[in-house]
């Protein structure tokens, strides 16, 4: 699609205007999705910023990540619902940050810092935290992406085992109140992030034995999105499309989502904003920087996925 190419070029031409975290997000996703040469150049240029040379420095960064708390993130979705559960499991928020950093170092730069991670938080502590949260169904529902990310990163990246109970995550999704706007978002986050994490964030094929249940997740999401289309952000719809590409799932929602994209160009530049759903008045999400997540998903959804089954 020409518009996606134009948006991709626009972001690359102004990438330096974005915070480093968003530059890395944009480039790492396109590098993983389709081995984009421009993205690889950006990632190599960021190597000195993202990856310390010495082991001790990596330990320090991971230790600092583990100190972060959820209330440090004022724009976290569903914060009012989530903060009590983060208070009950205070290590979770910082652990997700640390696990992502270890994942990025390994998957993007080929540097294994798993031993450094276990210097600051042993695997037994991480497993005990995961076990406690997974035994608390309501905590799983509300924490949603956070526990999904921690569980998959812990097992797929750090421990490199295959002990994730995907069925449990699927079953948890059945208990949301989908008439509640916040719970509706958390439900979609839960399923889409299971699929994205199963691909190790677009870098690996999804395990064959898990494909049927992820396809069922997509079938369920398709019905929910179709019935509540205008109640969902464009980000959420595009994330669903990306998950469909990962699993080769054909969806009738592709056409209306792309039509919405065509009507959603910002008057400030060549990038997509939310203009045709209940998030249209959310002004802070309409800036160039805040729109990066939505736009990289759109670009990805229009390009062949290199790890397609």
Q: What is the pLDDT of residues 24-45, one digit of tens each?
A: 999 999 999 999 999 999 999 9
**Percent with pLDDT over 90 in the chain:** 90
Please tell me the predicted confidence (pLDDT) of residue 283.
56
> What is the rounded distance in angstroms from the CA atom of residue 189 to the CA atom of residue 194?
8
Q: What pLDDT was estimated at residue 76?
A: 85
Strand partners, 272: 265
3-class DSSP assignment, residue 150: helix
Mean pLDDT of 91-96: 97
As a whole number, mean pLDDT of residues 250-275 equals 96
pLDDT digits (tens, 9 = 90+) for 115-155: 999 999 999 999 999 999 999 999 999 999 999 999 999 99
**What pLDDT shows up at residue 74?**
77
pLDDT for res 182:
93
CA distance linking residue 260 with residue 130, whole number of Å: 38
- Pairwise CA distance, residues 10 & 33, whole Å: 19
Q: Can you tell me whether residue 79 is helix, strand or coil?
A: helix
Q: What percent of the chain is modeled with pLDDT above 70?
A: 97
CA torsion sign, 104 to 84 to 178 to 138? Answer: positive
Mean pLDDT of the 197-223 span? 97
pLDDT value at residue 73: 81
Per-residue confidence band for 75, with pLDDT thresholds at 50, 70 and 90: confident
- In DSSP notation, 12-34 reads HHTGGGS-HHHHHHHHHHHHHHH
pTM over 0.85: yes
- Sign of the torsion angle spanned by Cα atoms 142, 29, 263, 282: positive
pLDDT of residue 284: 62
pLDDT of residue 13: 97
The pLDDT score that the predictor gives to residue 144 is 97
Chain-wide mean pLDDT for the chain? 94
Is it the case that residue 236 has pLDDT exceeding 60?
Answer: yes
Residue 308 has pLDDT above 90, yes or no: no
Domain boundaries, the chain: 43-164
In this prediction, residues 270-299 reach a mean pLDDT of 84
Question: Is residue 309 over pLDDT 80?
Answer: no
What is the 8-class DSSP label of residue 205? P
Q: 213 is written with which tokens? A: 């249940």
Identify whether the C-beta of residue 117 lies closer than 8 Å to the C-beta of residue 62: yes
Neighbours of 96 (CB within 10 A): 23
Supply the pLDDT for residue 276. 72
- 247 vs 72, residue with greater confidence: 247
């Amino acid at each position: 699609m020409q518009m996606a190419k134009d948006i991709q070029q626009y972001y690359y031409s102004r990438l330096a205007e974005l915070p480093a975290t968003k530059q890395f997000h944009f480039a790492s996703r396109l590098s993983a999705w389709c081995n984009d040469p421009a993205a690889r150049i950006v990632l190599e240029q960021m190597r000195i910023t993202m990856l310390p040379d010495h082991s001790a420095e990596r330990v320090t960064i991971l230790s600092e990540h583990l100190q972060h708390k959820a209330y440090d993130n004022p724009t976290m979705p569903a914060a009012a619902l989530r903060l009590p559960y983060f208070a009950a499991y205070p290590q979770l928020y910082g652990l997700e940050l640390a696990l992502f950093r270890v994942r990025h170092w390994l998957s993007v730069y080929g540097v294994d810092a798993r031993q450094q991670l276990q210097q600051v938080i042993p695997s037994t502590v991480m497993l005990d935290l995961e076990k406690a949260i997974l035994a608390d169904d309501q905590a799983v529902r509300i924490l949603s992406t956070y526990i999904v990310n921690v569980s998959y990163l812990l097992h797929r990246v750090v421990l490199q085992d295959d002990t994730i109970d995907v069925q449990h995550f699927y079953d948890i999704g059945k208990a949301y109140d989908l008439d509640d706007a916040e719970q509706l978002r958390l439900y979609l986050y839960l399923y889409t992030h299971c699929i994205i994490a199963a691909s190790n964030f677009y870098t690996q094929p999804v395990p064959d034995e898990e494909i049927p249940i992820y396809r069922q997740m997509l079938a369920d999401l398709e019905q929910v999105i179709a019935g509540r289309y205008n109640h969902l952000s464009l980000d959420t719809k595009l994330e669903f499309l990306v998950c469909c590409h990962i699993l080769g799932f054909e969806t009738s929602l592709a056409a209306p989502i792309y039509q919405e994209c065509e009507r959603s160009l910002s008057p400030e530049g060549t990038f997509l904003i939310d203009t045709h759903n209940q998030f249209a008045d959310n002004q802070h999400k309409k800036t160039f920087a805040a729109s990066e997540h939505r736009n990289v998903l759109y670009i990805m959804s229009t390009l062949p996925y290199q790890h397609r089954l």
